[in-house]
């Protein structure tokens, strides 16, 4: 006897809308059980994880800061995932975008050339991430190499390259031998939106990217081609859509948005290059993309939920002495629950009896 998933003839729109909510509730219950087993109050943890961050202006701004890179990267991943392509290396594209985008601000440090420098840095960061993402796409199209493995391995190359730069040629000579670059000039940093807090203008970029991607994926021929290639590649071939060309284009867009997120993070709140410029945004964005049901507007909801748990996890570490890794576990629970909810929403479980073998 075995279990099979049988696609449903039709799926209720209400069920599709409720499935991520149910996934969040189930993941919360699982996290509450773990917290209870650790000898802490699940209700106290819920209060610290959820209620307190939503009622504090500083915490809301910190959530916004985390949402910016998550939203940019996850929106880019939506392009790939809709085409049934698996870009797992957004973390590396994020890092490479930060490196390429920082070239001009570091080379002109101290010159005070104005805000146009920031615009060029953002464009260069997006180009750096896009070019880096084209490597696994090209290997897949020309040589049949799995984009999952190649994109993932390129993450470590980018991170080691950044580490080399900030410990070697780009290290601040006046930085007391710390592995970091010089600070960016004011003209190379994103302006702060509010006087009290750190929320920067990267939020505006994220909103523009989400709205533009909603239009492209929902109402353009390119968005339709992505959908067809992802769901019915043979039909796409008969329709005249080139799978190879679409593969290169979606990886370039995905990597470009990841690279943009990298330079936005560096020029927004960090202000310099360091060995670690990411809190695992490239990998966490995978959860955000699926939590948002592979829709740009849904990505905003997914980024909000993940950012809320991240801020709440930092508070719980201080107030309840809970390990910060518990937040990572919760995000893992969340991804599993989202995938399970999607599978059970679009398919039903059928029990298949296997015939007994004759002796």
Assign residue 181 the CATH number of its domain: 1.10.3470.10
Does 346 lie in the same domain as 267?
Answer: no
Does 305 lie in the same domain as 173?
Answer: yes
Does 137 lie in the same domain as 117?
Answer: yes
Does 204 lie in the same domain as 171?
Answer: yes
134 is a domain residue: yes
pLDDT score for 273: 94
pLDDT score for 186: 86
49 is a domain residue: no
Which backbone phi and psi does 5 adopt, to 5 degrees?
-95, 120
Helices 221-231/243-265 angle, 10° precision: 110
52 is a domain residue: no
**Do residues 98 and 266 lie in contact, with contact meaning Cβ atoms separated by under 8 Å?**
yes
Least-confidence region, from 36-45, 175-184, 289-298, 324-333: 324-333
50 is a domain residue: no
CB count within 10 Å of CB 5 equals 12
Does 98 lie in the same domain as 81?
Answer: yes
265 or 312, greater pLDDT: 265
pLDDT greater than 70 at residue 347: yes
Does 184 lie in the same domain as 205?
Answer: yes
pLDDT in tens, 81-112: 999 999 999 999 999 999 999 999 999 888 77
Does 337 lie in the same domain as 310?
Answer: no
Q: Residue 13 is part of which domain span?
A: 1-40+322-359
48 is a domain residue: no
46 is a domain residue: no
The pTM of this model reads: 0.91
**Which pair of structure tokens corresponds to residue 349?**
């479980």
Residues facing residue 192 across a β-bridge: 200
CB count within 10 Å of CB 170 equals 19
**Number of folded domains in the chain?**
2
b/e 57-90 (16+ beta carbons within 10 angstroms → b): eebbbbbbbbbbbbbbbbbbbbbbbbbebbbbbb
pLDDT greater than 60 at residue 359: no
As a whole number, mean pLDDT of residues 165-186 equals: 91
pLDDT in tens, 262-311: 999 999 989 999 998 998 899 999 989 988 889 999 999 999 999 998 89
Residues facing residue 5 across a β-bridge: 349
Does 332 lie in the same domain as 312?
Answer: no
SS3 of 116-177: the string is HHHHHHHHHHHHHHHHHHHHHHHHHHHHCCCHHHHHHHHHHHHHHHHHHHHHCCCCCCCCCC
Does 111 lie in the same domain as 19?
Answer: no
Does 334 lie in the same domain as 195?
Answer: no
Residue 22: burial class (beta carbons within 10 Å; 0-12, 13-18, 19+): middle
Does 106 lie in the same domain as 10?
Answer: no
pLDDT score for 356: 65
pLDDT in tens, 26-54: 888 888 898 899 888 888 888 888 888 88
278 is a domain residue: yes
- Transcribe 316-348 into DSSP letters: HHHHT---THHHHHHHHHHHHHHHHHHHHHHEE
47 is a domain residue: no
Does 94 lie in the same domain as 212?
Answer: yes
The confidence band for 191, taking pLDDT boundaries of 50, 70 and 90, is very high
Length of the chain: 359
C-alpha to C-alpha distance for 181 and 195, rounded to whole angstroms: 26
């Amino acid at each position: 006897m075995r279990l099979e998933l049988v696609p449903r003839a039709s799926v209720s729109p209400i069920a599709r809308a409720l499935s991520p909510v149910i996934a969040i509730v189930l993941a919360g219950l699982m996290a509450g059980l773990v917290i209870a087993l650790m000898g802490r109050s699940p209700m106290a943890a819920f209060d610290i994880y959820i209620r307190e961050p939503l009622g504090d202006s500083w915490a809301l701004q910190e959530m916004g800061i985390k949402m910016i890179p998550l939203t940019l990267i996850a929106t880019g991943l939506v392009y790939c995932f809709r085409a049934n392509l698996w870009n797992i290396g957004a973390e590396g594209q994020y890092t490479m975008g930060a490196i390429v985008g920082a070239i001009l601000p570091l080379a002109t440090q101290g010159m005070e050339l104005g805000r146009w420098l920031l615009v060029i840095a953002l464009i260069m960061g997006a180009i750096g991430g896009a070019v880096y993402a084209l490597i696994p796409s090209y290997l897949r199209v020309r040589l049949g190499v799995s984009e999952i493995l190649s994109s993932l391995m390129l993450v470590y190359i980018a991170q080691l390259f950044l580490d080399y730069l900030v410990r070697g040629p780009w290290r601040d000579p006046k930085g007391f031998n710390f592995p970091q670059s010089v600070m960016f000039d004011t003209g190379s940093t994103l302006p702060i939106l509010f006087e009290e807090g750190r929320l920067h203008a990267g939020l505006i970029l994220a909103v523009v990217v989400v709205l533009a991607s909603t239009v492209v994926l929902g109402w353009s021929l390119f968005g339709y081609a992505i959908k067809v290639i992802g769901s019915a590649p043979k039909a796409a071939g008969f329709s005249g859509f080139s799978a190879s060309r679409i593969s290169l284009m979606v990886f370039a867009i995905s990597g470009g948005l990841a690279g943009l997120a990298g330079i936005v993070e560096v020029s927004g709140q960090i202000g310099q290059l360091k060995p670690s410029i990411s809190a695992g945004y490239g990998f966490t964005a995978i959860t955000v993309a699926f939590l948002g049901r592979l829709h740009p507007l849904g990505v905003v909801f997914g980024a909000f939920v993940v950012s809320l748990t991240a801020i709440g996890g930092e508070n719980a570490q201080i107030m309840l002495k809970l390990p910060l890794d518990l937040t990572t576990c919760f995000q893992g629970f969340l991804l599993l629950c989202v995938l399970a909810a999607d599978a059970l929403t679009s398919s039903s479980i059928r029990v298949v009896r296997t015939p007994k073998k004759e002796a």
